Amino acid sequence: MSYEKLDTLRPQLHSLIKLSELGSFTAAAVQLGVTKGTMSLRISELERAAGVALVRRTTRSVRLTEAGQKLVEATRGSFEAIEQGFSDVTDTVGAPRGLVRVTAPVALGRQQLVPRLPAFMEAHPQIRIELELSDSFAALAREGFDLAIRHASTAPDTHIAWTLCRTQAVLVASRTYLRKFGTSESPADLADHNCLHYFRRGEQPSWSFVPVRGASNRHSVGIHGSFAANNSEVLRDAALNHLGIALVPDFTAQADLASGKLIRVLPAWRAAGAFGDVIFAIRPYSPFVPRAVRSFVDYLKLAMKDGFLSDQ
C-alpha cells in the first residue's frame, strides 16, 4: 500500500487503537469527539483497506481479531509519540490547564477530597475537575478517567501510582454507649458488644488486630451486631447514635474524634486487614502525564501528607 493511501487512513487507525483501549464504540467515539456512526464507518473502511476483519462484534462486546490486535500493536507507538510530542509542546505554555476526570470512593471523596478542592481550583483557575464518587472500581482507561483516588494496601503494577498518605482503621463508639456497656481492654472483649461492621457479601463478620507495641501476633475475633452497612459514613453515624462500636477508616472518624463526639476503643491495638492502609492517586500508565494531572497530584500529596490522625 502506498504512503499516500496509508496517510489517508490515519483517523481510521487511531480509531482502532482507541477501540482496543476502551472496548466500546460508544466510549471510543466520545473520547475522539465523533459519533458512534463515524466510528463504525472508520473501522469498516480500515477493514476494507486491510482486506481482513479487524474487529469481532457481538451484541455484548467488541473484541479485536488477531489481525486487528497485530495492527494496533504495530501502530500504537507512533500515535503515542505524536501525542506526547504535541502535549510536550503545548503543556509547557502558560499555566496548567484542561479537564481532569477523577474517580474516588464515596466517603473518602465527600470527607477529604471535596473540602480540599476550592483551594486547588482557586490556585489553578484554568483546570477543571470532574469528580465521580463511586465505591465500585472503575476501569480507568476504558471509562476515560485521568486519575483514581484509592484506599488500598498496594497499587496495581500496571498503573502509575503516587502515595498521598498513610491511613488506618479505628474502632470508635460514643461516650453514651461506652458508659452504658463499658469499655474494652482486649479484642476478646468485643464479643460482649454490639459491633457495627462493614458488610462484604460472602464474608463472615470478624475483625483482626495486632498490638501497636510489642509482639506483632495477630488476634482475630468473630463479632456480632445488630447493624452492618457497606458505607463507612453510615457506620460512623450509627456509632454517633449510640448503636455500638464501629470499625471505620480514620478519615471517616477524624472530625468526630477531634470534637469528642466519638471515642477510640482499644487504642493500644491496630486493626488489620479491614481496609487499605495507604491512600493512592492512581493513573493508567502512559509515557506522559499532563501538567494539570501532575499539579492536582502534587497538591493532594501536600494537603494530605500528615494523614488523618496524630498517631500515624
pLDDT digits (tens, 9 = 90+) for 127-165: 999 999 998 776 777 788 899 999 998 988 888 999 999
Average pLDDT, the chain: 89
Query: Is residue 160 within 8 Å of residue 203, measured between CB atoms?
Result: no
Q: What pLDDT, on a 0 to 100 scale, did the predictor assign at position 61?
A: 74
Q: What pLDDT, on a 0 to 100 scale, did the predictor assign at position 209?
A: 95
Instruction: Say how far apart CA 267 and CA 68 lie, in whole Å.
Output: 57
Alpha-carbon distances, residue 265 vs 143, 154, 170 (angstroms): 40, 27, 8
pLDDT band at 22 (very low <50, low <70, confident <90, very high): confident
| pLDDT of 87 above 70 | no
Q: Which residues, at least 6 apart from 134, have a Cβ–Cβ distance to it below 8 Å?
A: 103, 105, 106
Alpha-carbon distances, residue 308 vs 72, 105, 179, 303, 305 (angstroms): 45, 16, 26, 11, 9
Least-confidence region, from 9-13, 85-89, 235-239: 85-89
Q: What pLDDT, on a 0 to 100 scale, did the predictor assign at position 93?
A: 60
Distance of CA 104 to the CA centre of its chain: 5
Closest alpha carbon to 10 in 35, 32, 36: 32
Which whole number is the average pLDDT over 220-240?
95
Closest alpha carbon to 274 in 253, 299, 297, 247: 247
Residue type, position 275, single letter: F
